[in-house]
Amino acid sequence: MTQENWISAPNKHIEEYLDYYFDGKKNFQYAVLLNGAWGSGKTWFVKKYLEKKEDQGKKICYVSLNGIAKTSMIDEAIFKSIHPILGSKGAKLAGQILKGTLKTTIKVDLDGDSKSDGSISGGIPKIELPDYLKINDNFILVFDDLERCELKKEEVLGYINYFVEQDNIKTLIVSNEDEIKDNDDYARKKEKLIGATFSYIEDQDVAITSILQEVGSEELRDILILNFELVANTFNQVGYKNLRSFKQTIFDFERFYKKEYFEWKDSFYPEIFEKILRAFLILSLENKKGIFHKQILNFIPDLDGKSNQKPVDKIAEAISGFKGDDAQKFKQKYQMNLNEFVFSKELWSQILNKNIITDALIETELYRAYFRLKEDYPIWLKLWHYLNLTDEEFFELVQQAKESIEKSELTNVTDILHTVSMLLYFKEKILFSFQSKTY
């Protein structure tokens, strides 16, 4: 395998061993354990690896142990994974109706050789899986989220051991052992079952790149990859290292995206695209964390009402748009005022909570917040709305205003008076400095 084909270069040793374990004809009679911290990307890695194995003709049974409270639930989860239609709610209901009045026999072919590997008789899906699982080297059994299983971990390992030892099924267990309380029983079961243990090395960049590559629109995919650093930095800044949620957010952005939103007079404005992209990532991921109260960018108000707050601090809060301790922590985390999220709270809530995308509303708010300033308005009028400007936009306009006075570019008396007045006002507010004699 060439280096370009590795799923994750830092973890290629894991991939090499799994190939050795799953592809060979040896009867190992032990399972492999892949250990990794929550959010490290180990599940993403495993699923990418299983996709490769499926392409090679392997039959995959992937089971999450998250929330499993009894072994019969594992039986059912395995059955659903192998036969999703038979394991569906509809099939289960049909099985209950037929139970006791009709004996059914469903032939099972697990290895794709067109020969029955057993049968399931009676109700669906209540079955004794070990009685009919007769599987060849084409079958891979994977148990994920061991630490989230509600059963005693040693009981789960004992259950899995039956598949490995009695049925010679090659099995991968995925876990975050830091969250498992070790005890003698668990240690003994683990020693008996696990023959090889690996620690997954976090490889976030390749995981993010892989997710971006799944975007269906070639145009958007190229833009996102071009903005990889912004995407990765924002993901890290949010601190919600859940690649499943990140992937959902990227797909939601793909659904939202229209090139026309970011065009003005036939020109595409990457700066406003980047603003919206960053805001979308922040708000979507923070929303999935549950930080907002009732709607996007709403926070639980302070109970004490901050009666001792200084007037100047109250004014600063009002100007920033973030009121309350939680809101201020959010503002400090991202160093963004409310206007820098571009859209109103109501529009963001409509997009992210209700999944409603209304072109007219989006275009209107983009115009008011950004493109309106691209109109041929005098500089002083653009500066009039300085609270809606980013620092970069503000200082650029101030520089233009200074130059228009210094170079005597203005001919309209009203424009001259307003421009000078705005510059003097900003100097008084110590927003920037200049030599007064220039004016």
Task: Give the residue-averaged pLDDT of 111-119.
Answer: 47
Q: Report the alpha-carbon distance of residue 70 to residue 72 in Å, rounded.
A: 5
196 CB burial (10 A radius; 0-12, 13-18, 19+): middle
Task: Give the residue-averaged pLDDT of 432-439.
Answer: 52
| Joined tokens for residue 28 | 């190992």
pLDDT exceeds 60 at position 219: yes
- Amino acid identity for residue 49 in this structure: Y
241 CB burial (10 A radius; 0-12, 13-18, 19+): middle
User: Residue 4: its pLDDT value, please?
Assistant: 61
What pLDDT band is residue 116 in, cutting at 50, 70 and 90? very low
Contact by Cβ (8 Å): 135, 167: yes
Contact by Cβ (8 Å): 194, 161: no
Of the listed ranges 60-69, 123-132, 217-226, 270-279, the one predicted with least confidence: 123-132
Looking at residue 179, the DSSP 8-state letter turns out to be: G
67 CB burial (10 A radius; 0-12, 13-18, 19+): exposed
Residue, of 324 and 190, whose pLDDT is higher: 190
pLDDT exceeds 60 at position 113: no
| Joined tokens for residue 197 | 């243990």
User: Residue 323: its pLDDT value, please?
Assistant: 76
Tens of pLDDT along 153-164? 999 999 999 889
**H or E stretch at 44:** helix 42-55
What is the percent of the chain with per-residue pLDDT over 90, rounded to a whole number? 49
User: pTM here?
Assistant: 0.69
Task: Give the residue-averaged pLDDT of 360-373.
Answer: 88
Residue, of 114 and 72, whose pLDDT is higher: 72
Dihedral of the CA atoms 281, 284, 290, 296 (nearest 10)?
A: 110
Of 73, 49, 48, 53, the residue nearest 63 (C-alpha)? 73
| Joined tokens for residue 153 | 């971990």
Of 281, 287, 241, 235, the residue nearest 257 (C-alpha)? 281
Contact by Cβ (8 Å): 242, 39: yes
User: Residue 138: its pLDDT value, please?
Assistant: 82
Please check whether the domain covering 3-202 is classified as CATH 3.20.20.70.
no
Q: What angle do CA 9, 12, 14 make, to 5 degrees?
A: 140
User: Residue 313: its pLDDT value, please?
Assistant: 61
What pLDDT band is residue 384 in, cutting at 50, 70 and 90? confident
What pLDDT band is residue 259 in, cutting at 50, 70 and 90? very high
What pLDDT band is residue 52 in, cutting at 50, 70 and 90? very high
Phi-psi sector, 242: left (phi>0), alpha (psi -120 to 50), beta: beta
pLDDT exceeds 80 at position 122: no
User: Residue 254: its pLDDT value, please?
Assistant: 98
pLDDT exceeds 90 at position 171: yes
| Joined tokens for residue 269 | 């404005």
Task: Give the residue-averaged pLDDT of 129-133.
Answer: 44
pLDDT exceeds 50 at position 372: yes
User: Residue 432: its pLDDT value, please?
Assistant: 62
Dihedral of the CA atoms 19, 24, 28, 32 (nearest 10)?
A: 10
Which range of 2-16, 21-35, 122-136, 326-340 scores highest in mean pLDDT? It is 21-35
Q: Where are the alpha helices (DSSP H) in 325-412?
A: 325-334, 345-352, 359-369, 379-384, 391-406
- Chain-wide mean pLDDT for the chain? 82
**H or E stretch at 195:** strand 194-199
Of the listed ranges 78-92, 118-132, 273-287, 362-376, the one predicted with least confidence: 118-132
Domain locations in the chain as residue ranges: 3-202, 205-375
